[in-house]
Amino acid sequence: MKTKFTTTGLLCFFLAASVSCKRSANQAPVIKDTAPVNTSPTVVSFPTPSYDPSSIDTTKLFTDTPVTHNLARTDLLEISGVAASRVNTGILYIHNDSGNTNQVFLTDKNGADKGTLTLEGVANRDWEDIAVGPGPVAEKSYVYVADIGDNQAKYQSVFVYRFVEPDLSQLATPVNLTITAIDKIELQYPDGPRNAETLMIDPATRDIYIASKESSISKIYVARYPQNITSAGLMTPLVQLNFNKATSGDISTDGSEILLRSNEVIWYWKLSAGTRIDAALATKPQHAPYANNEPQGEGICFAADGSGYFTNTEVRDYPGKLATISFYRKK
């Protein structure tokens, strides 16, 4: 009887282990914070600009009505960010948010299906934005994917995944490429967990900016270059804007323009020569045109050549609506 029990137990153990191994092989890796839990976050004071948001005027640099195209792929319902490639002319990077695949999708201004990049070894806890900019190796362009969504403000750390932009010119379209060399940048807020959907990269300094998504305010934090890729780094508080529920932002290729958006409005900064991003964000912006043509406006980015800016939208909760790419041309 004893022998029979032991044999059965061992059989159950090996069966369970086999099932566990098969399940693990099919699951995305679990995202773990490496830093200890901070139960007493620091009280942080943010400088707040003195201008009245209701007095902001509207820039005349862009057309009021965008050119809009539906995405060819109708399965992408939770599109969040958008970024323009610096290596592959005309290519836009987009992605879904929480709980979806660890993939970046390729499209263009017409919404065409240009392929997929799969990020090996990382998961999509809540990817909320994407950006393109310089990185550790000079003369190379990098893609930055922001795993920074946190609706319940419960995560001790957020993550930015950075990889070198692949040259797609010799690959058949639609591309199907796996990215294996990825830097994992773990970041923490000095004042405790919070939700965010905005990532921006300073092309001059390679600093990373994250803007929180909160009612009536947006706290801007910066992670100075070089960012640590072996342990968690603490971000620096920069400025608190009277901006409601920021969903995305971008800095132009030459660093002379900034965009910050919500589902209702877009703010635009045009920087004077020599002005740093830090200083510009504390100055009064202008409104940029927004046609309110998106049911849940999420992403925004400048065109790589500076000719205008793109916006996109999530449509999961809006039956009958199609995911779109809109372009506002610079006059």
| Structural domains of the chain ordered from first start | 46-329 (2.120.10)
What's the token pair of residue 76? Answer: 């992408």
Which DSSP helix (H) or strand (E) runs through 326? strand 324-329
Q: Which pLDDT belongs to residue 2?
A: 40
What's residue 176's pLDDT?
98
Mean pLDDT of the chain: 91
Does the pTM of the predicted model rise above 0.85? yes
Give the 3-state secondary structure of residue 232: coil
pLDDT over 70 (residue 24): no
3-state secondary structure of 66: coil
Residue 92: Cβ within 10 Å count? 27
Place 38 in a pLDDT band, splitting at 50, 70 and 90: low
Query: Is 247 in contact with 261 (CB distance < 8 Å)?
Result: yes
Average pLDDT of span 300-323: 97
High-pLDDT (> 90) share of the chain, %: 86
Measured CA to CA, the distance from residue 197 to residue 213 in angstroms comes to: 6
**CA dist., res. 135 & res. 252, Å (int):** 15
Flag whether pLDDT at 116 surpasses 50.
Answer: yes
| Tens-digit pLDDT profile for residues 203-246 | 999 999 999 999 999 999 999 999 999 999 999 999 999 999 99
Radius of gyration (C-alpha) of the chain in whole angstroms: 21
At residue 15, φ and ψ (nearest 5 deg) are -65, -45
Question: What is the per-residue pLDDT for 17?
Answer: 41
Per residue in 117-135, pLDDT tens?
999 999 999 999 999 999 9
pLDDT of res. 43: 82
Residue 232 neighbours by CB under 8 Å, 6+ apart:
33, 34, 35, 157, 186, 187, 188
d(CA 16, CA 23): 10
Kindly state the helix (H) or strand (E) to which residue 13 belongs, with its residue range: helix 2-26
Residue of 2 and 242 predicted with greater confidence? 242
Kind of pairing between the strands at 286-288 and 297-302: unpaired
pLDDT-based confidence at residue 36 (cuts at 50, 70, 90): low
Band (32; pLDDT cuts 50, 70, 90):
low
pLDDT-derived band at 42, boundaries 50, 70, 90 = confident
Q: CA-CA distance, 56 to 267, in Å (whole number)?
A: 9
pLDDT score recorded for residue 30: 59
Predicted local distance difference test score (pLDDT) of residue 245: 98
Furthest CA-CA distance within the chain: 87
**Torsions phi, psi for 309 (to 5 deg):** -140, 155
For the beta carbon of residue 300, count every other beta carbon within 10 angstroms: 27
pLDDT in tens, 145-204: 999 999 999 999 999 999 999 999 999 999 999 999 999 999 999 999 999 999 999 999
Q: What is the C-alpha separation between 244 and 19, in angstroms, rounded? A: 47
Calculate the CA 249 to chain-centre distance.
Answer: 9
